A and B are shown apart, each in its own frame.
Chain A
Amino acid sequence: MDWLNAIVQGILLGGLYALFAAGLSLIFGVMRLVNIAHGDFIVLGSYLALVVVQTLGLNPFVAALIVVPVMALFGYVLQRVLLNPTLGKDLLAPLLVTFGLSIIIQNGLLTFFTADSRRVMAGGIETASVSVGPLNLGVLPLAMFATAIAVILGLEFIFTRTSLGRAFRATSDDAEIAKLMALDNRHIYAMAMALSAGIVALAGIFLAVRTNFDPSTGPMRLIFGFEAVIIGGLGSLWGTLAGGVVLGVAQTLGALIDPGYQVLAGHLVFFLILILRPRGLFPRMDG
């Protein structure tokens, strides 16, 4: 019974990790950029939610109407000002610039909010649950999982049905030719980063409601998102969700054995997949 419960909780936790991973996967797919500050963006989103909830007295999920656009704008400007100039040269520049950004965000948050751990209250939803057969499922984890599915469906829709999605795919396939076809790569990349930051904001809000967070918790979110991406297979959105689920289940089962093994079990499964199936569980066929 404990096992079944742990597996189900792990699957739902996987939804949150898929949200962490989706933004990471998206910008890697469009511009081959890996944002080392991705986890710190998530925590920045959590703090933004905290500020909005505290000053305006809103429910955190209503606050998303403010937090998501603000983060998206932040992503857009950041890409145009700082990240676009680093693209195309080599891998070092974007990597080190986002790494520097990560340190700046962490210490900036530390300066403004101190190292105290915070939490955002959501008026009871964080403790509410529904019973399904023998199991008690938290409403919040269910909402996280549903949001992850909705985000992936939304991304699929954007990629396959909209002109922005076509532009994303075109620049991803061949940035030079896309430019020849009169696409403005700088704008396309910034839109991708805005979209990524919007998803990050959602992830940040869920994180803030689900657990305590402090300025130093970002890197671990980056690592969980990254593990979900690699386990699932680069370039596949549904694979990323599956990767998040595998990671979540590994962690909850590890925690069942010993609370000290929770995170470690996730890392070990990640390395196991890397050894056995280096292209992930659901690799994209065209590689």
Chain B
Amino acid sequence: MKPDFTIERATRASRIAGLLSLVLIVALIAAPWWAGRANMRLLGEVYAFLALASLWNLLAGFTGLVSVGQQAFVGLGGYALFAAAIFYGVPPLLAIVLAGFVGAIVALPLAPILFRLQGAYFAIGTWVAAEVFRLVFAQVSALGGGSGTSLPAHIVTDIASTRDAREMVIYWSAMALGLGAIGVVYAILRSRAGLALTAIRDSEVASESLGIDIARTKLVLYVVTAALTTMTGALIFLQKLRISPDAAFSVNDWTAYVIFMVVIGGIGTIEGPILGTLIFFALRETLSDLGTIYLMLLGAVAILVMLKAPKGLWGLFSAATGITLFPLRRRVVSTDAH
């Protein structure tokens, strides 16, 4: 007898969102023809933070590894790009990919050491690691030591000869990385590893007794996140064309902002970091004149959200409407014709 139901993940909202996002992606690809230079720069920055927020959320929201040291990999990526381009003449776009491997290679031995620390102590441990990176790169005089260095002009012009073409290439790379990171996170969460993560989150003991290798799952996710974060860092500093240890390993820029985005948008959801990034930039563009008060406000809002709505704004919206754009849950759908 043929069963009269199927297992589905897609929802009506997710199908509509899928179609709309296709339209949006086409429009964004065409941005160099309709957006001004300043807007393209802004979009480039948004893409970088989309990637950072989605990746941090994968670690903290789904894997339970709360890191306040992801700036270690952002800075590492920036320095890897500068070193590869300046010392070995690697084309910058290739150097972004290369940076991903550097990030993974560094994260692989670092993770088991950091995993010896539990919970919040792990968080501070990641911060110490980032500080070590900052202090080490400040000692590398070939890369400008503590005051940093700029990307030489000939390397920049190698990307493309005209300024417009260059900005287009960098814009598209940023877009590929930003949306790609969201795609990778979604793909991981829908895979076996994602299922394992859900099980670990719900009960470590039960999932272990079912044969899930918790340590290995966490290690793999930490390394994948590190690799993608490093690539994002390389791209960020290709956009900036200048790097210094304090900028590269800034906890405020690459971790605090990212945490606020994810928490306000909704931690543990795929939509949350996207919404949070958009809100963050909308606020920044309108309120950044307030300076330090703006940051205090952001911190206060994040605390309020954490206390009153731990699933963030997207969580509130989703609970009220039942809409999910990136469905992870499987549903039983009746195919009974009667």
A143 within 8 A of B: no
Q: Which of B123, B259, B263, B303 has the most CB of A within 10 A?
A: B303
CB nearest to A24 among chain B residues: B124
Question: Which residues 292-320 in B have Cβ within 8 Å of A in the complex?
Answer: 292-293, 295-296, 298-300, 302-303, 306-307, 310
A binding-site residues for B, Cβ under 8 Å? 32-34, 36, 82, 85-86, 89, 91-97, 99-104, 107-108, 110-111, 219, 222-223, 226-227, 230, 260, 263-264, 267-268, 270-271, 274-275, 278
23 intermolecular pairs with C-beta atoms under 8 Å apart? A34-B121, A34-B124, A89-B310, A91-B64, A92-B66, A95-B119, A95-B120, A100-B300, A103-B298, A104-B300, A107-B292, A107-B293, A107-B299, A111-B293, A219-B127, A223-B128, A226-B124, A230-B121, A263-B131, A264-B132, A271-B128, A274-B125, A278-B116
**Residues of B contacting A103 with CB < 8 Å?**
252, 256, 295-296, 298-299
Taken together as a complex, chains A and B put the C-alpha atoms of A96 and B136 apart, in Å, by 28
Taken together as a complex, chains A and B put the C-alpha atoms of A226 and B129 apart, in Å, by 13
Q: Which of A100, A101, A278 has the most CB of B within 10 A?
A: A100
**Residues of A contacting B168 with CB < 8 Å?**
none
**8 nearest A-B pairs in the assembled complex, by CB-CB distance:** A34-B120, A103-B299, A107-B292, A100-B299, A278-B116, A100-B303, A104-B299, A264-B135
Cβ A260 vs Cβ B138 within 8 A: yes
Taken together as a complex, chains A and B put the C-alpha atoms of A111 and B294 apart, in Å, by 11
Interface size on B, residues (CB 8 A): 41
**Chain A: minimal CB distance from B122 (Å):** 9
Would you give the 0/1 interface string for B215-256, flagging 1 where the beta carbon is closer than 8 Å to chain A? Answer: 000000000000000000000000000000000000110001
B binding-site residues for A, Cβ under 8 Å? 60, 64, 66, 68, 113, 116-117, 119-121, 123-125, 127-129, 131-132, 135-136, 138-139, 251-252, 256, 259-260, 263, 267, 292-293, 295-296, 298-300, 302-303, 306-307, 310
**Residues of A contacting B119 with CB < 8 Å?**
32, 34, 91, 95
**Residues of A contacting B263 with CB < 8 Å?**
96
**Residues of B contacting A95 with CB < 8 Å?**
66, 119-120, 123
CB nearest to A93 among chain B residues: B306
CB nearest to A223 among chain B residues: B128
**Residues of A contacting B129 with CB < 8 Å?**
271
Cβ B296 vs Cβ A104 within 8 A: yes
Known A97-B306, A100-B302, A223-B127; contact A107-B66, beta-carbon cutoff 8 A: no
Q: How many residue pairs at the A-B interface have CB separations less than 8 Å?
A: 116
Cβ A99 vs Cβ B68 within 8 A: yes
**Residues of B contacting A32 with CB < 8 Å?**
119
**Residues of B contacting A34 with CB < 8 Å?**
119-121, 123-124
Cβ B303 vs Cβ A85 within 8 A: no
Taken together as a complex, chains A and B put the C-alpha atoms of A86 and B18 apart, in Å, by 36
Q: Which of A95, A227, A264 has the most CB of B within 10 A?
A: A95
Q: Which residue from A36, A96, A260 sits with its C-beta under 8 Å from B302?
A: A96
**Residues of B contacting A267 with CB < 8 Å?**
128, 131-132, 135
**Residues of A contacting B131 with CB < 8 Å?**
223, 263, 267
**Residues of B contacting A99 with CB < 8 Å?**
68, 256, 259
**Residues of A contacting B113 with CB < 8 Å?**
271, 274-275
**Residues of A contacting B256 with CB < 8 Å?**
99, 103
CB nearest to B145 among chain A residues: A260
**Chain B: minimal CB distance from A127 (Å):** 29
Cβ A274 vs Cβ B116 within 8 A: yes
Cβ A270 vs Cβ B66 within 8 A: no
Taken together as a complex, chains A and B put the C-alpha atoms of A101 and B306 apart, in Å, by 12
Taken together as a complex, chains A and B put the C-alpha atoms of A245 and B314 apart, in Å, by 47
Q: Which of A96, A264, A274 has the most CB of B within 10 A?
A: A96
**Residues of A contacting B120 with CB < 8 Å?**
33-34, 36, 91, 94-95
Q: Which residue from A96, A226, A268, A275 sits with its C-beta under 8 Å from B121?
A: A226
Known A36-B120, A82-B303, A86-B306; contact A264-B296, beta-carbon cutoff 8 A: no
**Residues of A contacting B64 with CB < 8 Å?**
91
Give me 14 other A-B pairs in contact (C-beta within 8 A), A107-B296, A260-B139 excluded.
A32-B119, A34-B123, A36-B68, A86-B307, A92-B310, A96-B303, A102-B299, A103-B299, A104-B295, A107-B292, A108-B296, A230-B117, A267-B135, A274-B117
Cβ A96 vs Cβ B132 within 8 A: no
Cβ A219 vs Cβ B251 within 8 A: yes
Taken together as a complex, chains A and B put the C-alpha atoms of A84 and B229 apart, in Å, by 34
**Chain A: minimal CB distance from B120 (Å):** 3
Taken together as a complex, chains A and B put the C-alpha atoms of A104 and B300 apart, in Å, by 7
Taken together as a complex, chains A and B put the C-alpha atoms of A33 and B123 apart, in Å, by 13
Taken together as a complex, chains A and B put the C-alpha atoms of A235 and B310 apart, in Å, by 30
CB nearest to B115 among chain A residues: A278
**Residues of B contacting A82 with CB < 8 Å?**
303, 307
Q: Which residue from B136, B267, B302 sits with its C-beta under 8 Å from A264?
A: B136
Cβ B295 vs Cβ A93 within 8 A: no
**Chain B: minimal CB distance from A29 (Å):** 13
Cβ B299 vs Cβ A36 within 8 A: no
Taken together as a complex, chains A and B put the C-alpha atoms of A32 and B124 apart, in Å, by 15
**Residues of B contacting A110 with CB < 8 Å?**
292
**Residues of B contacting A108 with CB < 8 Å?**
292, 296
